[in-house]
Amino acid sequence: MAVPDKLTDTLETLEMVPDRSERIQLLIDIAGRFEEVPSRLARRPFAKEHQVPACESEAYVFTEPRPDGTLDFHFAVENPQGISAKAMAVILGDALSGAPPEQVAEVSQDIVYQVFGRELSMGKSMGLMSMVGMVAAMAKKQAEAKSS
């Protein structure tokens, strides 16, 4: 299964920044673009079924269907220090919203390491991988609904 084009582009852009401090700055800039899920879709307290398991920054994922059957992905991150979770949310939202759900469903959780490098704690990498996993699971559900 092909990887969504925008995700490929994003990962290639990040790969062009091998210097750790430059990569960190780029990810901070990305996190700065984080916008919380619109209130028309969800309000606090956010429903538990939208909470990312194992994410210590208390992240939530929401979807909004487009007329063409693809999904927009929205996020909330409750930890004010959850900069990495916000950066991941922006990357996933930008790169996967509007992509074919069948492709999104197959996105590997290992992209976390392509984004952040290997120097992540086990807890942090599990939380970020769980964000990817939850997005993929929601896309899979959409793909199955489309085909049935």
Can you tell me which residue has the tokens 């996993």? Answer: 133
> By CB under 8 A, is residue 107 in contact with another protein?
no
Closer CB to another protein, 9 or 29, in the complex:
29
| Two structure tokens written together for 138 | 């929601």
> By CB under 8 A, is residue 121 in contact with another protein?
yes
Q: In the window 31-90, what residues touch another protein (CB under 8 A)?
A: 31, 53-54, 56, 80-84, 87
Can you tell me which residue has the tokens 């489309």? Answer: 146
Task: Using alpha carbons, select from 144, 22, 137 the residue that is nearest to residue 73.
Answer: 137
Please give the Cα distance from 61 to 51 (Å, whole number).
7
Site residues, another protein (CB under 8 A): 21, 24-25, 27-28, 31, 53-54, 56, 80-84, 87, 116-117, 119-124, 126, 129-130, 133
